[in-house]
Amino acid sequence: MSFDVSALRAQFPILAREIDGKPLVYLDNAATTQKPQCVIDALVDYYSTCNSNVHRGAHRLADEATSRYEGARDTLAAFINARQREEVIWTSGTTEAINIVAHGLGLQLQPGDEVVVTEMEHHANIVTWQQACKAGGAKLKVAPIFDTGELDLAAFKSLLGPRTKLVAFPHVSNSLGTVNPIEDMTRAAKAVGAWVLVDGAQGIAHGGVDVQAIGCDFYAFSGHKMFGPTGIGVLWGRAELLAEWPVWQTGGEMISEVTYQDAKWNTLPYRLEAGTPNIAGAIGFGAAVSWFASLDLQALQAHEQKVLAYAHARAADCEGLQIVGTAPNKAGVLSFLMAGGHPADVGFLLDRQGVAIRTGHHCAEPLMNRLGVPGTARASFSIYTDTADIDALFTALEKVKTLLA
Q: What's the CATH number where 322 sits?
A: 3.90.1150.10
Q: Is residue 97, in this structure, part of any structural domain at all?
A: yes
Asked if the model's pLDDT at residue 1 lies above 60, the reply is: no
Q: Which helix (H) or strand (E) holds 205?
A: none
Phi-psi region of 335 (alpha: psi -120 to 50; beta: other; left: phi over 0): beta
Task: Say what the pLDDT of residue 193 is.
Answer: 98
Secondary structure (DSSP) of 318-352? STTEEEE---SSB-SEEEEEETTB-HHHHHHHHHT
Phi, psi of 90 (to 5 degrees): -75, 135
Quick one: 25 and 173 in the same domain?
no
CA distances from 194 to 170, 217, 294, 323 (A): 16, 9, 36, 35
Quick one: 391 and 278 in the same domain?
no
Q: Is residue 248, in this structure, part of any structural domain at all?
A: yes
Q: Which helix (H) or strand (E) holds 91?
A: strand 88-91
Which of 38, 50, 133, 363 is catalytic? The answer is 363
Quick one: 225 and 154 in the same domain?
yes
Q: Is residue 211, in this structure, part of any structural domain at all?
A: yes
pLDDT band at 2 (very low <50, low <70, confident <90, very high): low
Give the strand pairing for 88-91 and 233-237: antiparallel
Quick one: 343 and 378 in the same domain?
yes
User: 98 has which bridge partners?
Assistant: none
Quick one: 150 and 285 in the same domain?
yes
pLDDT band at 173 (very low <50, low <70, confident <90, very high): very high
Q: What is the dihedral of CA 95, 101, 106, 109, to 10 degrees?
A: -140
pLDDT band at 3 (very low <50, low <70, confident <90, very high): confident
Q: Is residue 153, in this structure, part of any structural domain at all?
A: yes
Q: Which of 129, 150, 116, 131 is nearest to 367 (CA)?
A: 150
380 secondary structure, DSSP code: E
Secondary structure (DSSP) of 259-301? -SS-EEEPPTTGGG--SS--HHHHHHHHHHHHHHHTS-HHHHH
Q: Distance between the two ends of the chain, CA-based, in angstroms?
A: 44
3-state SS class at 405:
coil
Q: Which of 360, 305, 306, 317 is nearest to 335 (CA)?
A: 360
* Mean pLDDT to the nearest integer, 194-216: 96
Quick one: 287 and 311 in the same domain?
no
Q: Is residue 36, in this structure, part of any structural domain at all?
A: no
Q: What is the residue-averaged pLDDT of the chain? A: 97
Model confidence pLDDT, tens digit, residues 82-93: 999 999 999 999
Asked if the model's pLDDT at residue 202 lies above 60, the reply is: yes
Quick one: 82 and 93 in the same domain?
yes
145 secondary structure, DSSP code: B
Asked if the model's pLDDT at residue 325 lies above 70, the reply is: yes
Q: Is residue 308, in this structure, part of any structural domain at all?
A: yes
Q: How open is the CA angle 285-234-37, to the nearest 5 degrees?
A: 10
Last residue of a domain, one of 260, 293, 326: 293
Asked if the model's pLDDT at residue 135 lies above 80, the reply is: yes
Last residue of a domain, one of 266, 293, 320: 293
Asked if the model's pLDDT at residue 347 lies above 70, the reply is: yes
CATH of the domain at 190: 3.40.640.10
pLDDT band at 394 (very low <50, low <70, confident <90, very high): very high
pLDDT greater at residue 368 or residue 208? 368
Q: Domain of residue 226: give its range.
A: 41-293
**Are the CB atoms for 210 and 62 separated by under 8 Å?**
no
Last residue of a domain, one of 293, 326, 351: 293
pLDDT band at 333 (very low <50, low <70, confident <90, very high): very high
Model confidence pLDDT, tens digit, residues 58-78: 999 999 999 999 999 999 999
Neighbours of 53 (CB within 10 A): 16
Asked if the model's pLDDT at residue 405 lies above 90, the reply is: no
Q: Which of 71, 131, 143 is nearest to 98 (CA)?
A: 131
Q: Report percent pLDDT > 70 for the chain.
A: 100
CA distances from 334 to 62, 101, 113, 129, 139 (A): 45, 31, 37, 28, 33
Q: Is residue 65, in this structure, part of any structural domain at all?
A: yes
d(CA 231, CA 102): 20
d(CA 229, CA 86): 22
Phi, psi of 119 (to 5 degrees): -75, -10
Quick one: 283 and 306 in the same domain?
no
Quick one: 268 and 355 in the same domain?
no
Quick one: 135 and 235 in the same domain?
yes
Model confidence pLDDT, tens digit, residues 10-48: 999 999 999 999 999 999 999 999 999 999 999 999 999
Quick one: 49 and 166 in the same domain?
yes
Model confidence pLDDT, tens digit, residues 266-313: 999 999 999 999 999 999 999 999 999 999 999 999 999 999 999 999
**Annotation marks residue 363 as catalytic:** yes
How many separate domains does the chain show? 2
Quick one: 218 and 278 in the same domain?
yes
